[in-house]
Amino acid sequence: MLPSFDDAVFTRRDALARGASDTRLRVDRDRGNLDQVRPGVYASAPTWERLTSEERARWVAAAAHEAGRGAPIVFSHLSAAALWALPLFRVRATRAHVTVDGPARSTPQVFRHRLPLPSEDVEWLEPGRVGVTNLARTVADVIASVPLETAVSLADAALRKAAAEGTSGIDLDRAEDLRAAVAEHLRRRTGRRGIRAARFVTEFADARAQLPGESVSRLLLRQLGFADPGLQVPVMGPHGADYLVDFDLGPVWGEFDGALKYTDPRFLNGRTPARVLADEKEREDWIRGVTGKRIVRWQMAHLATASAFRHHLAACGVHPVHSAS
């Protein structure tokens, strides 16, 4: 859904109704107290600074809808991806993206894609007023138009969303249904720019990846010549429940150590960061002791480039099989 304007992100109209003036808004913006999302929509600078790329993209979409005075609009591409809660890894949607099946002109605030838009490709958030391209169409649009690392992390997340993780795990058959739907969209676009890369992404995507860092790790491992690793490999824990290890690299286990593990409530599960660190140590000691394989960890900084990742892995004594001495 589109976010609703509030005290942190607000319209000029609402600010004036609360007693502000255009002069006050201009002064606050010039002093760095406000960021302008687009003409007529503002955000407090601290709020805007801490928002993720996906959250900013949703606000940019909401601002575009506000400026359109309620005219029907169908968000697509990066805007649709953000509304589907898919990751926008290392990209920023500074404009709203919409698709129009007819004459269209883009502006600095709205990128209008002139493309066929059959009704079955649209899901309406507000019937007849606010629409978004469906999940398969959104994935197909985005992965053909963004860098490879962005495309893979988004496609992985979309497959995971389609798989509908629950108490019994993820349903990979549902993920495969989405993969087939994306492939069909791409089949209809043969010869267009970005389709070859998009087809690779569609085949390479995996619903088992939990974070963009895991997706990018897998992509870089492929580019560096490693065999495709086992993903989310279960190791029986001391109390009967499985520990899942991110990557099986053969001689060693691999783990992407994302910061969200220590900050995001979804991963903390009510624990303090210190408790998470202690639990991780216990987990690692157990896995290493039971399997006889050491664990190599890396962080987002190591994924800046393929070269940086190769250097980190080599420093840990990990090499593609064909280059091992």
Q: Write out the DSSP string of 66-108.
A: HHTTT--EEE-HHHHHHHTT---TT----SEEEEESS-----S
Helices (H) and strands (E) in the chain, counts: 14, 12
Helix, strand and coil in the chain, % to nearest 5: 45, 20, 35
What is the model's pLDDT at position 177? 96
State both tokens at 273: 């960061």
pTM of the model: 0.90
| Alpha-carbon dihedral angle through residues 214, 210, 244, 304, given to the nearest 10 degrees | 20
Tens of pLDDT along 159-198?
Answer: 999 998 554 567 889 999 999 999 999 999 988 899 999 9
Element housing 10 (H / E):
strand 9-11
Task: Report which listed range, 119-123, 172-176, 237-241, is most confident.
Answer: 119-123
Q: How far apart are CA 179 and CA 159, in angstroms?
A: 7
What is the model's pLDDT at position 265? 62
State both tokens at 180: 């087939």
Residue 268 clears pLDDT 90, i.e. is over it: no
Residue 29 clears pLDDT 90, i.e. is over it: yes
Q: How far apart are CA 291 and CA 208, in angstroms?
A: 22
pLDDT-above-90 percentage for the chain? 81
What is the model's pLDDT at position 191? 84
Mean pLDDT of 243-272: 80
**Cα 202 to the center of its chain, rounded Å:** 15
Residue among 299, 321, 324 nearest 309 (CA): 299
Tens of pLDDT along 246-257?
Answer: 999 999 999 999
- Whole-number mean pLDDT of the chain? 92
